[in-house]
Amino acid sequence: MVSGAAYGWLLLLFGLCSSVVNGLSVFDRRDDADKKYSQTSYLVTNLPGLTENVPEEHIPLMFAGHLELHPENQTNYFFWSFKQDDKGYVPKSNRTIFWLNGGPGCSSMDGALMEVGPLRVNRENKVTYNPGSWHEVADLVFVDQPVNTGFSYGSIYTHELDEITWTFLKFMEEYYKVFPEERDNEIYFAGESYAGQYIPYIGKRLLDYNKENPDKKYNLKGLLIGNGWISPNEQSMSYIPFCREAGLIDEHLPSWSHLLRKQEKCQNIVSRIDSVFSDDKVHDFETNSDDCESILTSILSDAKKDGNCINMYDYRLTDLYPQCGSNWPPDVHTVTPFLNLPEVQSHLNLVYKNKWRECVGRVTLNFKARNSLPSIHLFNDILAEIPIMMFHGDKDIICNTMGAQNMIKKLEWNGARGFSDAAPVMDWDFNGTVSGFIKLERNLTFVNIYNASHMVPFDLPELSRSLLDVMLGNYNITQDNDKITINTYTLKRQWEEQQKQNAAPEQDDSSDIDEEKPNPTNEDTPTESNGDDSSSSSESENTATGNRRFTRIIQLLVIVVVIWSIYVLYASYKSRPQSIIKTNGRLSNRKKIVQWADQIETPDPLQPTHEPSFIKKTLNRLFGVSRGHYSSVNGVEDIELGENILNNVADDFIITSDDEYDEGSPTSSTDLQHGSPHRQPEHPRNAL
Ligand SMILES: *[C@@H]1O[C@H](CO)[C@@H](O)[C@H](O)[C@H]1NC(C)=O
Ligand SMILES: *[C@@H]1O[C@H](CO)[C@@H](O)[C@H](O)[C@H]1NC(C)=O
């Protein structure tokens, strides 16, 4: 104990030196630049349940908040990012995945809290850990967009896909002002459903940007689209055959002939589109997909199971009619109240605290994209440069796997149409179980996933993370007669294999040390923070250097806090702690410090492990704060940020709580809920 503390002090002194040398220059720069670009103001230090339910070594380093993009119309995008957990089974990569949910108008907090993010929300409104989190293999950034979706806000609405791309590029520009050390990371986009429109559009725009700005290229590496809505009319042609094959409908359905007439009408539209596909003009009969989409509406209203509607996102399930799936997944009912807790909104550093709803009807209504070609038109250009993966849970109706495969059959990319005969259908074996099949050729990968819904990562978190292994070629191939199998494994299994291999020959050189990350060995920590001092120039470690700079800021703050604490401790012999708080005047300072204490407390390998507990104890003693639960902060937050500043503006344009469509007339309510296509565009268009 004693020696531990002494060691901590040594480290602290060491940190002081390095901070003075390096950390201070960071502060200088930040003062010069704008305060709004400081990472610390985006730090998420706590959430309900975080320290109780999430294993200490898995508590992610998180940032969240608003980035102002267009001051002239108050466009602010909200993001929540989770830095890769390098205490897991995989060494830290230089990889960033931007995740987008669909709608249009559905929040990417679905992705963060129900799908690929490290946290999920339980019935007590507390976070728990998602063992399939993608943040073990990449940094994750969840962005609420377009404007007025989720926590993003502004005085305008978006109508076309071009606007999506401009604003997203602006978002990236602002994001990398806050996190410049990540600017050269490998970038992937991933998302779901209507993001099958956003992602190719943004991807294409980034590739164009790279050509226009050869010195400022984004390192875009690939796109992953889950149950994507890519070619609306074409995909709608699959509803009848798909539902029939799934045994949901047959020719005895009363409305069967009615359905067939709709199908025929849609077929005519699709043929018309095919005949002009390559003229690259925007034709109304293509951008308006109402007729084709109405096929699904009809199916859902006729094909009832026990009087209930089939859940259009997972046909194994039912839902009330006419919601037909918008009450699903059940986590909507925990995530919604969670994100509306004042405490949570404070922790997420919201500038404007609007009411969170999974999908915002007005965004959907405004976003018709009537002058935007469906994203299928961009695939050829994109695939010439980077890979795209399309993955489909096979129990989804709305963006079903059959429609996607038919679409690919017709698609021309990289010099040929569809997958060639040479591209075999391969089994995908994940950790010993055949879990789907894969086709892959000429930069396009198609993955069909068995027993999964519209939200694959919701159903199968660990398997969904392994999609990245498929994308990155991190698999082995086995062949049995004609059957080719792609084998991927859980991270744990991968790590164990690695260990075996390492053990077998003899110890290699130092690079293997990284593989031992899973043991949360505190001993590594000093070595790491020592080592960086001399080698921070190494270019190969851009991210690491960035993190170290951040570390130094933390270190410096730690030192300031320690010195201050000692002073305060001394002072507290004479006066009560509360009086210190009061006379300290600026509440916001207190909050920051408490935040830092919390930050320090997490066993981040960036941090020397010994001195934090000392500081924490000191702080806790002073403030009477119990471990990891800073309830006092919440009260402070409101005062500090002065919501009123924004409230004046906000009433003019924020659409959230008051005249909420969902709470309006029953008819429009259902239509809108359907319209949520992580979730899809279809019903609102029909109805309104
Ligand atoms: C596929 O993507 C790679 C980059 O990953 C690119 O170099 C190549 O030209 C693309 N095209 C084909 C046909 O593979
Ligand atoms: C899918 O579900 C069925 C029925 O529940 C089950 O028999 C089958 O083993 C499952 N397949 C996979 C790959 O999980």
pLDDT given at position 585 = 27
Ligand 2 centroid to Cα of residue 338, in Å, is 33
User: Which distant-in-sequence residues (6+ apart) come within 8 Å of 190 by Cβ?
Assistant: 97, 98, 99, 100, 116, 134, 199, 223, 224, 225, 226
Structure confidence at residue 37 (pLDDT): 73
Annotated catalytic residue, options 107, 133, 152, 193: 193
Distance 393 CA to ligand 2 centre (A): 13
How many angstroms does the Cα of residue 107 sit away from the middle of ligand 2? 30
Residues 6+ apart with CB under 8 A from 506: none
From 207, 210, 385, 444, give the residue whose CB has the most ligand 1 atoms within 8 Å, as the site to mutate: 385
Query: Which atom of ligand 2 is found nearest the CA of 451?
Result: 1
Compute CA distances 564 → 20, 232, 582, 614, whole Å. 17, 61, 16, 13
Ligand 1 lined by 20 (C-beta under 6 Å): no
Q: Which atom of ligand 2 is nearest to the CA of 433?
A: 13
Q: Which of 52-61, 317-326, 436-445, 672-681 has the lowest mean pLDDT?
A: 672-681
Cα dihedral sign for 461, 337, 83, 500?
negative
Ligand number nearest CA of 388 is 1
629 classed as catalytic: no
- Pick from 441, 506, 501, 430: nearest CA to 469: 430
**Amino acid, res. 669:** S
Q: How far apart are the first and last CA of the chain?
A: 69
* Ligand closest to the CA atom of residue 188: 1
Where are any strands of DSSP class E within 247-327?
Answer: 304-305, 308-310, 318-319
Q: How confident is the model at residue 678 (pLDDT cuts 50, 70, 90)?
A: very low
Q: C-alpha distances in angstroms, 72 versus 57, 126, 157, 201, 645?
A: 43, 37, 13, 24, 16
Q: What is the pLDDT of residues 397-411, one digit of tens each?
A: 999 999 999 999 999
Q: What would the two tokens of residue 110 be?
A: 């679905």
Ligand nearest to the CA of 472: 1
User: What is the pLDDT at residue 517?
Assistant: 39
CB 359 within 8 A of CB 103: yes
Q: Does residue 276 have its Cβ closer than 6 Å to ligand 1?
A: no
Tell me, what's the pLDDT at 624?
31
Atom of ligand 2 nearest to the CA of 435: 13
Distance 505 CA to ligand 2 centre (A): 39
Q: In the annotation, is 294 catalytic?
A: no
Distance 179 CA to ligand 1 centre (A): 29
Q: What is the H or E stretch that residue 621 is in? A: helix 611-623
Determine the pLDDT at residue 88: 73
Average pLDDT over residues 476-495: 93
pLDDT at 34 over 70: no
Average pLDDT, the chain: 77
- The pTM of the full predicted model, rounded to 2 decimals, is 0.73
* Residue 554, pLDDT score: 66
How much distance in Å is there from the Cα of 298 to the middle of ligand 2? 29
Check 110, 144, 319, 396 and give the catalytic one: 396
Pocket test for ligand 1, best of 383, 420, 443 (most atoms within 8 A of CB): 443
Length of the chain: 688
**CA 315 – ligand 2 centroid, Å:** 14
Beta bridge partners of 392: 448
- Ligand 2, atom 13: closest residue by C-alpha: 435
156-212 residue pLDDT tens: 999 999 999 999 999 999 999 999 999 999 999 999 999 999 999 999 999 999 999
Neighbours of 471 (CB within 10 A): 22
Q: How confident is the model at residue 497 (pLDDT cuts 50, 70, 90)?
A: confident
More confident residue, 49 or 35: 49
Percent of the chain with pLDDT over 70: 68
Structure confidence at residue 381 (pLDDT): 97
Residue nearest to atom 1 of ligand 2 (CA): 451
Ligand number with the minimum distance to the CA of 437 = 2
Catalytic residue (choose from 454, 674, 678, 683): 454
Q: Is the CB of 657 under 6 A from ligand 1?
A: no
What pLDDT, in 10s, does the model give residues 63-109?
999 999 999 999 999 999 999 977 778 888 999 999 999 999 999 99
Residues with CB under 6 A from ligand 2: 433, 435, 450-451
- Specify the pLDDT at position 322: 86
The ligand 1 atom nearest the CA atom of 221: 5
The average pLDDT across 353-360 equals: 93
Kindly state if the Cβ of 443 falls inside 6 Å of ligand 1.
yes
Cα–Cα dist 384/444, whole Å: 10
Q: What is the pLDDT of residue 351?
A: 87
Which pLDDT score, from 0 to 100, does residue 536 have? 36
pLDDT for 563: 65
Q: Ligand 1, atom 5: nearest CA belongs to which residue?
A: 386
**Annotation marks residue 512 as catalytic:** no
CA–CA dist 58, 61 (Å, integer): 9
Lowest mean pLDDT among 238-242, 249-253, 429-433: 249-253
